[in-house]
Amino acid sequence: MDKKAEDLLKRPLYVSEAEFEKLVGDLDESLSGSDSSDSEDEDDDASRKDTTLTALLRKQATLAERGNGADGDEENGFSKRKRRGGGKSPLLWFSSPVLPPNHYFGVYRAIFTSEEGKNDADIVEVIKKKQVAAIPPPKSGPDGNLAPAAYKGPHIFMCMIGGGHFAAMVVSLAPRQTKHGTTGPLNREATVLAHKTFHRYTTRRKQGGSQSANDNAKGNAHSAGSSIRRYNEQALTDEVRLLLRDWKGLLDTSELLFIRATGATNRRTLFGPYEDQVLRANDPRIRGFPFSTRRATQNELMRSFIELTRLKVQEIDPASTVKPQQETPAKTAPSKPPKPPPPKLSEEEETALLHTSQLQAFIRRSKLPALLSYLKNNDLPADFVFQPQDSQQNYHATTPLHLSASQNSAPLVSGLLLKAGADPTLKNGEGKTPFELAGDRATRDAFRVARDELGEDKWDWEAARVPPPMKREDAERRDEREKSEAERKEAERRKAEEQRLRAEGPRVADQPRTGKSLLDAGIPKTAQERREEEARGLTPEQRMKLDRERRARAAEERLRRMRAGGGVLQLVNEGRLQLNTLLKDILPEFSSDSSIITNEPTAEDPLTHRVALAKSNHWRYGADGVHLPKRTDTLPAFSGLKKIGMLRAQYDYSNWYSALAGLAIGQASDS
């Protein structure tokens, strides 16, 4: 820190405005002279504790440095342009003698250049100068657009880009006159010098955001759609920049540039930076559209041009413009009046609420000892009235005895009547006594037993609407009788259920109906329908995989049945199937002499048939039986056994042909 800064620290904290300005100036000089100081000095400065004054002065110096830096950037052409018309209405209103009272002309501020909009007093003269006379339209080129240097009149450039849509137009401010019909008046129409529109698929439908923005946020996607959008985004950028390069002559001579480009990607497309850049973001001619615009199309550009260049006529009442300003504070107030704060409770009311919550909790949990102890310790009467009385719950059950009776808690009713001395004649808000709230016999008997034990003189039992008294022994005997009767009925039900289970077996619950309606809920689905339901929503590759798995499971099931080999044996044992006759009808005929398959029982084989293996490798059939080969690798059994399927309907045996094949293979492998 230099000497001047040390002097600043030694001075008092309170200074006048003139002295403060002088201090700031001296500090600026000190800071500017110490830019090239050593790093050691900077470390020493950082290590010292800043006071309030030094922190304020350093902040002022930093702001001054930023201001100087901004001026330097402005010279290089990189400064941010100031927002024009900030805080002002987008329309300028003018009065005219040709208009009715309280009617005014409106003109958009955006159509004036920076020089024209400096002085509002000269706006009328500027508007008069902008009334350019109609001129004949220039000849267009072969592509329908003008050559870049073919038009020297006043014109503006309009451009919109967003969502993959791009539209641009250069339009002359001098209208052209056209005549519709032979006697009609001359019409003034806009002269479009050049126009072009592009569209590329760069944004997902109903999602928004460019593909590049999505890639920057979440990483590059590898889908086909993302690749197409990424390619189209770059192609649109190249097309737009090439078009701007072709129109450079018209853009350089344009009075104003109306551009709508929202988003970093769209602004980068127009303003770059890139080689041979045409548009600059700091161009003072650039304007935005001071009204809402729709999709970038040629029609939308023409509509925007008409909106900008046509006068607006509107009725404005000066009294109505002042009145809303006066009523602004009233409008800021909420429409609904605020709820009044709840009244502050006294200490007695808070204590009553606490006792109410505790007593009700004990009663709901049937805690009789805790309830009696709480009443005794807090010197509360057994007829304590719950608070607040106007609540729905407390209106129905006013006292602990009312709540106990409504909860059907016989022990609590007996304890409150016999031990706490609760009054059964009190009525709730509905005019009912506690007995009338009891919902079961045990609770009502508790009132009758209490009447017997307390005596007729204790309370007016008739006013309490309690029936005649009952001895406790009688009540207990009736309870035991009812309990034993219920147990007997339950035992009989269990016994009947066990007998039914032995006779019928367990009941199978009905399958839940899965149909959407009562008509199709019970219709069983066929195998084809089940297969279609399983394959619904799958891709062709997934369906092929599912079909392969289904076929593999079916093949495994067929092999399992073939290895089982028990179905045909049972049929032969029962005498329902003649094996020789069956094989004779199905297998091919061969003439040879070998061992035989018969239905005659033998001592060697416990089954009712005997299989002997021939020494040859072919099926052989003779007059006395069918002969099997010894080896199974050349066995042509499956081709012959396929014919058995034709006889399946006749015999109606679900797996007998698989068992027959398993029998042949199993016997051949045993040898």
- pLDDT at position 617: 37
Split into its structural domains, the chain has a count of 4
The percent helix, strand, coil of the chain (3-state, each to 5) is: 50, 10, 40
The verdict on residue 105 lying in a domain is: no
Are 163 and 304 in the same domain? yes
The one-letter code for the residue type at 416 is: L
- Please give the Cα distance from 556 to 497 (Å, whole number): 43
Are 288 and 391 in the same domain? no
SS3 per-residue string spanning 530-566: HHHHHHCCCCHHHHHHHHHHHHHHHHHHHHHHHHHCC
Q: Strand pairing of 165-179 and 155-162?
A: antiparallel
Three-state SS at 86 = coil
- pLDDT at position 670: 42
* Whether 211 is catalytic: yes
Domain that holds residue 562: 557-670
Burial of 344 (0-12, 13-18, 19+ CB in 10 A): exposed
The verdict on residue 282 lying in a domain is: yes
Say if residues 662 and 571 touch (Cβ distance below 8 Å): no
Half-sphere exposure of residue 322: CA atoms within 13 angstroms, side-chain side: 2
Domain ends where: 454, 478, 502? Answer: 478
Domain ends where: 76, 107, 132? Answer: 76
Q: Which residues of the chain are under the pLDDT cut of 50? A: 4, 8, 27-50, 70-83, 584-659, 661-671
- pLDDT at position 156: 93
Three-state SS at 166 = strand
- pLDDT at position 341: 78
- Please give the Cα distance from 76 to 569 (Å, whole number): 104
DSSP bridge partners of 188? 177
Residues 6+ apart with CB under 8 A from 220: 226
The verdict on residue 539 lying in a domain is: no
The verdict on residue 417 lying in a domain is: yes
Say if residues 372 and 381 touch (Cβ distance below 8 Å): no
Identify the active-site residue in 177, 211, 298, 578: 211
The verdict on residue 494 lying in a domain is: no
Say if residues 81 and 284 touch (Cβ distance below 8 Å): yes
Nearest-5° Cα angle at 532, 531 to 534? 65
The first and second tokens of residue 351, run together, are: 């204590």
The verdict on residue 488 lying in a domain is: no
Domain ends where: 35, 50, 76? Answer: 76
Instruction: Residue 595: count other Cβ atoms within 10 Å of its Cβ.
Output: 16
